[in-house]
Structure 1
Amino acid sequence: MARFNSNQIKQKMRQAEQKLKQQMRQAEQKLQREVDKVNRENKRKVDAYNRRVDSHNRKVISDYNSEVRKRNTHNRQAIAELNRQLRSGSSGVRYTEPEQQLADRVHTAVGQLDPREYDTFLSYARIDGGDVASALREALEELGVAVWFDEVAIIPGRSQSLQMDAGLRKARSGIALLTPAYLTGRFWTERELGALLGKNVLIPVLHNVTFEDVRKYSGILPDLAGFTTEQDSVEDIAKKIAAAVIVDEAV
């Protein structure tokens, strides 16, 4: 009967253990090589994708900036032509004498101001001026006028009064859409009108009220010149205002 040799068994166990460890290390090294290979390939694909996205974004931005420059050039030319027509009476839309005096004062005053984020601040009473105000804003912006308009500019969840104050500061001029509700002296409209009067660049637009109504409402308005929807369409009024508030930077 063969003798039991414990040392020999232990030696074989150590050898088996070492062999297993070696196999595990080799398997780990192989796996790591595969992981590194996959990571390198993924990085190559991500880098290539990022280059394509970056190139695409640069092109989009370049195209957008080019379009903005073209649009700005077109708007300046259109406004210059509109100014010529309004003052010469060579088109269906023209300034009356009081309107031209107002437009000239506004144009001169705006040209002397520092650049602002908005060309004008549109003040109105929502109860009876919302629809006309929206139409006026759209018509002005189509002509290249940057308009601060509460329904678009005010961000929900933030202080409405602080946002309105910021808009009043940033606007180079103001438009007061005077309606029956506006002339009742509501808190917001009175607050806005007070701030706009401090700018010395205020354009009254009358809707469903007369200059006599405005005279009774307040004696603090700088004058009774302005535009009225009784005489002109909203689109024509927008043209007259745009010609006054947009200053050609090349001039």
Structure 2
Amino acid sequence: MATFNASEFNRKLRQAQQQAERELKRQVDAANRKIAAHNRTVINNYNREVEQHNRRADAHNQKVIGEINRRLAAATRPQVTVRYTPAEQELVDRVQAALPVDDREYDLFCSYARIDGAAVAEQLHAELTALGLDVWLDTVEIQPGKSMSRQMDHGLRLARAGVVVLTPAYLAGRFWTERELGALLHKDTVIPVLHNVTFADVRNFSAIMQDLAGFTTAEDNIPEIAAKIASAVLLQA
């Protein structure tokens, strides 16, 4: 008959206990990792939802603020009486007949030569925006770190019409202005605004501009020109 060995029994018991403890710890660790991964997923999803909500809220707030600013500007600015010359009226009639009525992102794409047209373009943008139009202007819309040409193509594609600030530098022909004008001339509606150039200068520059109709700062100031453009465009908005 075998003799009971208490020491051996206790050794095996301790081994079994240690193995059971290690297995329990492994299971607990695995469960904790799953819980931590689940919590991270829940937190990340929540953060994404919060970020999306904040972006939508910011966009909505910016739109509301912009509308309030436009109304305030319209309320405080002197009213401009719009009177068209016969040539301008022909252009307005053509704009109203050709301007697409759709949900494009911008009403107008503003093309200009920065060397001598920036001040006019920025003032025209401010006046048109205050009158309720959405106008693409590079100094406002271009975001650093992204492709400039793609952003410009985006603006050209999503604008219902184009307004071209024709200045001596523009007529001299520069890469960006030539490219923009080429794209705008594929639209049904291009609105020329002449500054320090004449219709004769434009005729020598391009025979494509329909009938050389347009607005000129030699006859009207920028608020008056903006009011004329807005009156034509907003009738179709």
Q: Same fold (TM over 0.5)?
A: yes
Q: Of 163, 167, 192, which aligns to 1:175?
A: 163
Q: Is the 8 A contact 2:80 2:223 kept in 1?
A: no
1:158 equivalent in structure 2: 147
- For 1:53-132, what aligned pairs fall within 5 Å after superposition? 54=49, 61=56, 68=63, 91-97=79-85, 98-110=87-99, 112=100, 114-132=102-120
Aligned length: 230
Q: Which runs of 5+ in 2 are unaligned?
A: none
TM-score normalised per structure 2: 0.68
Aligned twin of 1:12: 7
Give aligned-pair identity as a percent.
41
Aligned partners of 1:154 and 1:164 also within 8 Å: no
C-alpha displacement at 1:205, in angstroms?
Answer: 0.8
Once the two structures are overlaid, the 10-residue window that deviates more, 134-143 or 121-130, is: 134-143
- 8 Å contact 1:121–1:175 — kept in the other structure? yes
| 1:139 partner letter | E
- 1:25 and 2:14 correspond: no
- Residue identity opposite 1:94 in structure 2: V
Q: CA deviation at 1:119?
A: 1.9
Residues 168-225 of structure 1 show CA distances to partners (whole Å, capped at 9, x for unaligned) of 3332211110111112233432333233233231101112223333234333321233
Structure label with greater radius of gyration: 1
Aligned Cα RMSD in Å? 4.5
User: In 2, distance between residues paired with 1:190 and 1:59?
Assistant: 40
Q: Distance in 1 between matches of 2:143 and 2:61?
A: 29
Structure 1 residue 218 and structure 2 residue 206: aligned?
yes
Q: CA deviation at 1:109?
A: 1.2
Q: Is the 8 A contact 1:207 1:230 kept in 2?
A: yes
In the alignment, what sits opposite 1:4?
none
The answer (yes or no) to whether the contact 2:110–2:136 under 8 Å persists in 1 is yes
Which amino acid in structure 2 is aligned with residue 106 of structure 1?
V
1:247–1:26 distance in 2 versus 1, CA, 3 Å: farther
- In structure 2, C-alpha distance between the alignment counterparts of 1:166 and 1:63, rounded to whole Å: 22
* Distance of 1:61 and 1:165 partners within structure 2: 25
Amino acid aligned to 1:185: G
Does the 8 Å contact 1:107/1:246 carry over to 2?
Answer: no
The whole-number CA distance in structure 2 between the counterparts of 1:191 and 1:64 is 31
| Structure 1 Cα separation of the partners of residues 218 and 137 of structure 2 | 23
**2-structure distance, mates of 1:198, 1:44:** 54
- How far apart, CA to CA, are the structure 2 residues paired with 1:117 and 1:28? 62
Residues 22 and 138 of structure 1: is their aligned pair in 2 closer, same or farther, counting only changes over 3 Å? farther
